[in-house]
Amino acid sequence: MNILVVRNDKLGDFITALPAIYVLKNYDRKNRVVVLVAPLNKALAESCDFIDEVIVDENDSSVFTLASKIKAANIDASITLFSNTRVALAQFLAGIKTRIAPATKIAQIFYNKRVVQRRSEVKMSEFEYNLQLTRTLFSDISLEYPKPLLQFTDAKEVYAKFCEDNNIKKEVVAFHVGFGGSSDANWNLDEYEILIREVLQQNRYQVVLTFGPDETDLYKEMQKRFEVKNIVFYLSTDGLITFAKLISNFKLFVSTSTGTYHVASLVGTATMTFFGDSLFASAKRWKSVGDTELQRHYMLPVNEQKRQEIFEEVKKELVSF
């Protein structure tokens, strides 16, 4: 069976789709699993050995162009994890016989298997809702998947070169201080500076600060704050896959609930993550796909006193890690 899985939005959102994609492939290795993704997720999708084909959705293309791409893949059934009218209509026009999606939005009229999930109630996480949708296609499918879900055969070599280039001789605790995706809570730079200095003072780990390719201003700002030789500043200009290979070797990855957090968990790294104090932005909804025992979640309240209490907890956790 040729199965299309649609998740053509942000990095973290696509990673929440990967367990569902894996179980579809694992249900029957003869299944040909095709994914429809945003351009930024093309390389990540191509690195997964349980994905057979990647269709890139250029969002500025017409619905007819998208329908033509989908039709060429000769799809038997589709599972759309996040929908809009354009994506739904394109699948209808492509003539996919079985079209599965959550029963939300006007777009649901173009699907012939609509599943009521009420995700806004957050009874489970986003990736667990995605897994549940696969049972609409195969009622007896196993929802188990390996953790970490993504591994690279050359990750150790890439990391060794990184350590050699940066004179790293200790295990790495990394901080990613920027925002991104749908994250709506984070420490400010002054607070991050305090946390980073706490780790530096312990002198047990190498501190690495990571930045996305569009965070050059933040990269320069943090360099000004830490004019010391024992911090490595890494601006990710070599692509997401190289970044993922490096992260997979880190001891701990500290960040807000953004795409890089999901990457770290995907490749098996321990995470310390900060979430907004609301159900929509919570860890309950956005916990990542990795081992839950490796995930440390903190909800950042609006109340300043409570926020300070959480901040002290985080400091203690970092010191004792």
Tell me the domain boundaries of the chain: 2-137, 155-320
> Check: CATH 3.30.1180.20 for 2-137?
no
* Residues 6 or more apart in contact with residue 150 via CB below 8 angstroms: 18, 47, 48, 244, 266, 267
Grade residue 106 by pLDDT with cuts at 50, 70 and 90: confident
pLDDT at position 227, please? 78
The yes-or-no answer to whether 2-137 and 155-320 have a common fold is: yes
- Residue 219 DSSP symbol: H
Cα dihedral 127, 128, 134, 138, rounded to 10, equals 150
Q: Average pLDDT for residues 168-172, to the nearest whole number? A: 96
User: What integer pLDDT is reported at residue 280 of this predicted model?
Assistant: 85
- Across 28-126, the runs of DSSP E, i.e. the strands, are 32-37, 53-56, 77-80, 98-102, 113-115
- CA–CA separation, 70 and 73 (whole Å): 5
pLDDT (tens digit per residue) in 34-63? 999 999 999 999 999 999 999 999 978 899
**Whether the Cβ atoms of residue 101 and residue 28 lie closer than 8 Å to each other:** no
Q: What is the mean pLDDT of residues 274-293?
A: 92
The predicted structure's pLDDT at residue 183: 53
Average pLDDT of the chain, as a whole number: 94
Condensed to tens digits (0 to 9), the pLDDT of residues 121-152 reads 889 999 999 999 999 999 999 999 999 999 99
Predicted confidence (pLDDT) at residue 312 exceeds the cutoff of 60:
yes
DSSP annotation string for 242-276 = HHHHHHTT-SEEEEESSHHHHHHHHTT--EEEEEE
Place 180 in a pLDDT band, splitting at 50, 70 and 90.
low
With cut-offs at 50, 70 and 90, classify the pLDDT of residue 104.
Answer: confident
What whole-number percentage of the chain has pLDDT above 70? 98
Give the predicted TM-score (pTM) of the model. 0.94
For residue 232, what pLDDT is reported?
Answer: 96
CB 90 within 8 A of CB 66: yes
Find out if CATH 3.40.50.2000 is the number for domain 155-320: yes
Question: Percentage of residues in the chain with pLDDT exceeding 90?
Answer: 87
Model pLDDT, residue 26: 98
Q: Please tell me which residue, 106 or 236, carries the higher pLDDT value.
A: 236
- What local confidence, expressed as pLDDT, does residue 118 receive? 85
Alpha helices in 9-58 (DSSP H): 11-15, 18-27, 42-46
Contacts of 241 (CB under 8 A, 6+ apart): 43, 44, 47, 152
Report d(CA 288, CA 277) in Å as an integer: 17
Alpha-helical regions (H) of 9-112: 11-15, 18-27, 42-46, 63-72, 85-93
